[in-house]
A and B are shown apart, each in its own frame.
Chain A
């Protein structure tokens, strides 16, 4: 079993483990962010470059550092490897650059976005983004389109993480959409006027790290932090039937698959990913359809549980600043 050291934390991991997986095993700040990697989808990762890390020592056998930052989600750990994530200033600078690139064509319309509060890019831009955009040119725009009767596509928000294409390839039994064009005019689209009609297509909404795909049965019904997430299950012949109900009072506003702290679907029975079918997701919106297990603990990538954007210490400073500004204005 190879040993890897990430930001000074050493861990022994099984053969074939990637740097990102090893960092997730260590947990905390050591873990690089990932927008396109999704452990439940084969060949995902490597595209967004947010998870790049610096390998300062290749391995015990070949201790040379790697010449360029590598995508931690696609780089396998070697015995004796040493990696820097948060501890390398130049890497942080590079990651800031990646975030800036990602935000060029992703509007910060969080106030009206259904994904707000559980958006990975929102977290990433909070941690690594600039307060002001340096990009002054026209951004790309698309009309919102309905891809099927339950999903709306906001291509303007898409960061081309390819996750949903992988879902269509690996989870759904038919694929009618993919990436068209290239470069910064590349877009996800369905094959000419085809709607996505598949029992598992709703999982595309769950894997989307931003708000490019939204659930038409939930759109604009509530901010996610006003809902109460509850673990629930039902006897379903198509899927594992284990879901999270986002409730308001006794009303089920949204149903999603159960996700772990990394925003990925949890494993259901026999270690298989707990994808849920469209019937459970879109059609079972009555409490009586479900056996409710209890409140769901949400511990990362969400403001639902912990109000992560409100650091009390900073808040006090902000309040005092505001007071000073107001006093100056009055004087």
Chain B
């Protein structure tokens, strides 16, 4: 059994309530943090090697140390709880079950960074989680863990829960800040980075829910103890939200470095593929990362076992690798249509593009329409080539990573499953759905 740092008490009845949480050591770490120097807490997080669990994997301690500290200017810690990547649902699960762990993490992080006010920005569509969190915040205020003179230390700290409007792009840190300030959730152009100019133009750190929760065991046990878990630069534990054609989909806390094969097939985790079918492909880190066929997700290009770690999953770049991303592990069995799946993903990114920059605004829609054309049996080989070209003209040309998120799945699907696209093109009679295609694209069938 792997060690559990975040989920060890998740099945305790009533752990959502303050009293039960405290009976299991809740808020003891906050008390310990008050006995430490602020810079020592940042140092512990640095030592732990914790990498941001939202997807990008940037070292959290380093991010904290970048925070500008001008005299007389407020600083903010913002928790990014706007989780909405298709296939990723770990943060929602954790907030639903362990709201006080997040609040404790926010208090410790805010104390370490010298923030007097912090925000949890939650996706507005998660209203039931919002109520759970708000209740927990109220409890924490009543018990003196938040508010004036926290735990008698003389430190005043306010934590606000802010609802977002339900746009995927608001999970991007600068769009989140815009939305938090009450504006349209469009990403800002960086630089300046939030560490210099964030919320209300003040220095700000934006961290994912899991990253903030992980601060609690790091401060409790020490950064070195945390760093001993995992493998290489992928330290600690990671929550993986496994879904798709698995016998036991769900949220699992793994020690980084577990072999992918073990994660998919062992009874401790996913228990294998549903109906004992063959594995076809896996999207390892949420829908925005490249999809890998079975042979490449289980083994690297060199034939070594692929591990659940940042480095191993990225081994070989995008030619043979992918990313750990946010930990949204989507498994597809042999019956899955990659083209259809890709269309679903692309449709999502088209819908969620903010529309600020031209390649993302126009390119995501174009890709979706081409995929729809291919999927409905009207595509040509030239369409597949065009699709490849469009994604290459979006990737890396946009303000924020949404363009990349839309382009990578398309690139990887064509790279690894081109034959499947060609099959759709070459055997259209089996799949052609004239009426739907023509109706959606407002075309006259006689003229096409």
Q: Footprint of B on A, CB under 8 Å?
A: 45-50, 52, 67-69, 71, 74, 76, 93-94, 97-98, 100-102, 104-105, 134-135, 137-138, 159-160, 162, 178-179, 181-186
CB atoms of B350 and A184 under 8 A apart: yes
Residues of A within 8 A of B364 (CB): 183-184
Nearest CB of B to A264, in Å: 19
The answer to whether residues A68 and B397 also contact, given A179-B184, A183-B351 and a CB cut-off of 8 A, is yes
CB atoms of B350 and A138 under 8 A apart: no
For the complex, give the distance between the alpha carbons of A160 and B362 in Å. Answer: 11
CB atoms of A74 and B189 under 8 A apart: yes
CB atoms of A184 and B355 under 8 A apart: yes
Q: Indicate if B365 sits at the interface (CB-CB under 8 A).
A: yes
Residues of A within 8 A of B362 (CB): 101-102, 104-105, 184
For B184, B364, B397, which residue has the most chain A Cβ atoms within 10 angstroms? B397
The answer, among B359, B399, B442, for a CB contact under 8 Å with A101, is: B359
CB atoms of B399 and A46 under 8 A apart: yes
Number of interface residues of B (CB under 8 A): 35
Main secondary structure of the interface of A (DSSP, over half): loop
* Nearest residue, chain A, Cβ from B372: A137
CB atoms of B358 and A49 under 8 A apart: yes
Q: Footprint of A on B, CB under 8 Å?
A: 167, 169, 184, 189, 191, 350-359, 361-366, 369, 386, 389-390, 392-394, 396-399, 441-443
Residues of B within 8 A of A98 (CB): 358-359, 393, 397
Nearest CB of B to A73, in Å: 9
CB atoms of A49 and B167 under 8 A apart: no
Nearest CB of A to B187, in Å: 10
For the complex, give the distance between the alpha carbons of A6 and B418 in Å. Answer: 40
CB atoms of A49 and B397 under 8 A apart: yes
* Nearest residue, chain B, Cβ from A162: B356
For the complex, give the distance between the alpha carbons of A47 and B353 in Å. Answer: 13
For the complex, give the distance between the alpha carbons of A76 and B191 in Å. Answer: 9
CB atoms of A97 and B397 under 8 A apart: yes
Nearest CB of B to A179, in Å: 7
Nearest CB of A to B359, in Å: 5
Residues of A within 8 A of B189 (CB): 45-46, 71, 74
For A100, A138, A184, A185, which residue has the most chain B Cβ atoms within 10 angstroms? A184
Nearest CB of B to A116, in Å: 21
Q: What are the 8 tightest A-B residue pairs by CB atom distance, in nearest-first order? A: A97-B393, A186-B355, A101-B362, A68-B396, A46-B189, A183-B353, A184-B365, A104-B362
The answer to whether residues A183 and B397 also contact, given A47-B356, A71-B189, A160-B355 and a CB cut-off of 8 A, is no
